Copies of this chain bind each other. A is one copy, B any other.
């Protein structure tokens, strides 16, 4: 026994010695430690087979990776834009590499490690002598891809694969990979491309995360520092712009991951580029945060800026329609939703690191898959234990700007997203911003009633301009006339100039979303057209005389000169009825030469028949009526997109546009969903508007008043203060011998 005890002591000493030596050589960390942890993997292995959503995801991922392994490894010489073969192949490679790494950890099957090793060494062999990518369009060309952005995507994913297989590699293998592939790769996208790396922009976020993550795996402090704080002492041309027309250099010259967290996110978690890019940036933000939390917990990254990362997940989920599709504010491809892989990651990580919010579980349940890591395990266990609660999307105001004082986006919802209004009074949104101050869009359940066009791009579809932004994105989608807001003298806000737009933002004037039957947001924009002030108030009202809630829109314009104001409504569906006569031309002409008007055909032109203009349309089995106060000089225009579109890049969408020449004016409108039609029963129910008359009953510098008379003879009165947004201010106003008294910025009586 003594001898055995002696032996044990010797073994113990030996072990300590080895641990010390290994530590001294920089292997003090255990792997995996990035998105999987040693403890987490053990827990996953123990739970496997009893965690349905995790088990199902694992099965799918295994099938996917096994199929790829069977097809062999392909690392073609880079050649194509997105959508082309080499681009899509390398993209597929990094996604599969990450998954193979995870499978190796969870399933302990060496074939996945072999696959990762073999592919990495093919890349290692190729990368050493790889020139910059042959396609020249990007302001920051990558090597594997045409942009550094995509190279960064690659490294974010491949870092995870490397972490998973790290311990299985020999020291020599690791050294070779790091020396010839990972370190030069990280250097190329950072110090090699500071105009890409040292910005406040979603591109840089990817770059920062890529450098940081490989730095965490390699335990390379220099790279981690560079990731968090950017490259020190870089001089960038202050006038240089990227491919989207955005400035390279941010205002205060900050850079790095923390700067990218601080600046584009408002304190509410709204990302200034808009939800589509927030979704895109979400992955590097959260996956790198997860790695930091695991390896550098002392940074407490999830608590940074009052937990802005966790708030941003909540904000982003709220920026979706009933079907989970993101509102296409600024450049946003329609159809992108919280079912995307980025949001699966975001929801799982926010659940795991954000205090196990049970509402997130119901979103994860809809997503029907999890990330195969510690956070996904948490979600799977939560679901298994039936902890999920509904994620209620209510009305919400999200501020914009690093300090939350640069306007914002308001979403007014009625019921269970029966009707959702998106009102934008935000800042420019960096290079992906549109010139659409005070614009709005409207959703009936998950369907658009009045649309925001979104972007003019077919992301990753090679046939359409290499999958990149089409020129119509600039000439149409970004222009003011492409949005449901006022255009003055056929010129976009800020003359469509990024330099000017970036200097300004709209201002929230007042809001009240406390009463579900009357929710209102009011905002002002005074810089879009110098000398002209625009003030728009949007309310969602539910009244017992109306079958459904409706939207009241009061757009007040004050100017120091006479102008032509165009207010388009991009209605979805087919015209049912108008209350005015109009002519349709025998040939179609473009409505203008620039500012987006060159893309609009004029399909019809009429004049008001009285003091209300009405248009009804039918879409997806629902009727809608726009009622708007008319001026006898108004021109009522039907427009159709598609002019100056030599490659059929644009959809043939319609708008109804009210054109008015005036100095000061108010456009008062009601958008009213009503009734329904079924092509199966062929019953048309409640197919007519319930509004008998809409009137502007008062308007001066201080107050604007509106009366909505319904067909039952009842009248709703709305009056707003135009100057005092305070909830405490007391008002008194006489309109037609009747005195109104109220406290706060508005008066409303049903």
Q: Evaluate contact between B88 and A679: CB separation under 8 angstroms.
A: no
Q: A588-B587, A590-B586 are in contact. Are A463 and B616 (CB under 8 A)?
A: yes
Q: Mark A651-695, 1 if CB is under 8 A from B, else 0.
A: 110100000000000000000000001111111100110000000
Q: Evaluate contact between A460 and B682: CB separation under 8 angstroms.
A: yes
**Across-interface contacts of A677 in B (CB, < 8 A):** 460-461
Q: Evaluate contact between B640 and A682: CB separation under 8 angstroms.
A: no
A333 at the interface (CB under 8 A from B): yes
Q: A574-B648, A651-B574 are in contact. Are A83 and B687 (CB under 8 A)?
A: yes
In the assembled complex, the Cα of A320 lies from the Cα of B567 at a distance in Å of 43
In the assembled complex, the Cα of A576 lies from the Cα of B648 at a distance in Å of 8
**Closest beta carbon of chain B to A645's beta carbon, Å:** 7
In the assembled complex, the Cα of A420 lies from the Cα of B618 at a distance in Å of 29
A633 at the interface (CB under 8 A from B): no
Q: Evaluate contact between A463 and B681: CB separation under 8 angstroms.
A: no
A731 at the interface (CB under 8 A from B): no
Q: Evaluate contact between B461 and A576: CB separation under 8 angstroms.
A: yes
Q: Mark the stretch among A21-29, A337-345, A708-716 that contacts chain B.
A: A337-345
In the assembled complex, the Cα of A334 lies from the Cα of B574 at a distance in Å of 15
Q: Evaluate contact between A587 and B586: CB separation under 8 angstroms.
A: no
Q: Evaluate contact between B684 and A83: CB separation under 8 angstroms.
A: yes
Q: Evaluate contact between B646 and A584: CB separation under 8 angstroms.
A: yes
Smallest CB gap from A583: residue in B? B646
**Across-interface contacts of A247 in B (CB, < 8 A):** none
Smallest CB gap from A589: residue in B? B587
**Across-interface contacts of A652 in B (CB, < 8 A):** 640, 652, 654
Q: Which of B335, B336, B460, B588 contacts A683 (CB 8 A)?
A: B460
A464 at the interface (CB under 8 A from B): yes
**Across-interface contacts of A132 in B (CB, < 8 A):** none
In the assembled complex, the Cα of A603 lies from the Cα of B335 at a distance in Å of 27
**Across-interface contacts of A339 in B (CB, < 8 A):** 680
Q: A601-B588, A652-B640, A679-B335 are in contact. Are A684 and B340 (CB under 8 A)?
A: no
A459 at the interface (CB under 8 A from B): yes
Q: Evaluate contact between A638 and B648: CB separation under 8 angstroms.
A: yes
Q: Evaluate contact between B584 and A587: CB separation under 8 angstroms.
A: no
Q: Evaluate contact between B684 and A467: CB separation under 8 angstroms.
A: yes
**Across-interface contacts of A681 in B (CB, < 8 A):** 340-341
In the assembled complex, the Cα of A334 lies from the Cα of B682 at a distance in Å of 11
In the assembled complex, the Cα of A616 lies from the Cα of B604 at a distance in Å of 31
Q: Evaluate contact between B584 and A645: CB separation under 8 angstroms.
A: yes
**Across-interface contacts of A645 in B (CB, < 8 A):** 584
Q: Evaluate contact between B648 and A680: CB separation under 8 angstroms.
A: no
Q: Evaluate contact between A680 and B586: CB separation under 8 angstroms.
A: no
Q: Evaluate contact between A462 and B684: CB separation under 8 angstroms.
A: yes
Q: Which of B462, B577, B640 contacts A642 (CB 8 A)?
A: B640
In the assembled complex, the Cα of A337 lies from the Cα of B341 at a distance in Å of 36
In the assembled complex, the Cα of A467 lies from the Cα of B604 at a distance in Å of 23
In the assembled complex, the Cα of A583 lies from the Cα of B646 at a distance in Å of 7
Smallest CB gap from A641: residue in B? B652
In the assembled complex, the Cα of A461 lies from the Cα of B687 at a distance in Å of 8
Smallest CB gap from A575: residue in B? B648
Q: Which of B460, B577, B587, B601 contacts A684 (CB 8 A)?
A: B460
A647 at the interface (CB under 8 A from B): yes
Q: Evaluate contact between A642 and B603: CB separation under 8 angstroms.
A: yes
**Across-interface contacts of A680 in B (CB, < 8 A):** 335-337, 339-340
In the assembled complex, the Cα of A642 lies from the Cα of B584 at a distance in Å of 10
In the assembled complex, the Cα of A685 lies from the Cα of B119 at a distance in Å of 22
Q: A589-B587, A640-B652, A652-B640 are in contact. Are A679 and B83 (CB under 8 A)?
A: no
In the assembled complex, the Cα of A688 lies from the Cα of B463 at a distance in Å of 9
Q: Evaluate contact between A679 and B463: CB separation under 8 angstroms.
A: no
In the assembled complex, the Cα of A337 lies from the Cα of B83 at a distance in Å of 38
The A27-58 residues at the B interface (CB cut-off 8 A) are none
**Closest beta carbon of chain B to A449's beta carbon, Å:** 17
**Across-interface contacts of A463 in B (CB, < 8 A):** 576-577, 616, 687-688
In the assembled complex, the Cα of A525 lies from the Cα of B308 at a distance in Å of 70
**Across-interface contacts of A646 in B (CB, < 8 A):** 583-584
**Closest beta carbon of chain B to A650's beta carbon, Å:** 9
Partner-B contacts on A (CB < 8 A): 83, 88, 333-337, 339-341, 458-464, 467, 574-577, 583-584, 586-590, 601, 603-604, 616, 618, 638, 640, 642-648, 651-652, 654, 677-684, 687-688
27 A-B contacts (beta carbon < 8 Å): A88-B683, A333-B679, A333-B682, A334-B679, A336-B680, A336-B682, A337-B679, A339-B680, A340-B681, A341-B681, A458-B576, A458-B618, A461-B684, A462-B684, A463-B616, A464-B576, A467-B684, A575-B647, A586-B590, A586-B644, A587-B589, A588-B588, A588-B601, A604-B648, A640-B642, A640-B652, A652-B652
List the 4 shortest-distance A-B pairs measured between CB atoms, nearest first. A335-B679, A575-B648, A588-B588, A463-B577
15 additional A-B pairs beyond A461-B677, A575-B648, A640-B652, beta carbons within 8 Å, are A88-B684, A335-B680, A336-B679, A337-B679, A340-B680, A461-B684, A462-B687, A463-B577, A574-B648, A587-B587, A588-B601, A603-B642, A638-B648, A652-B652, A652-B654
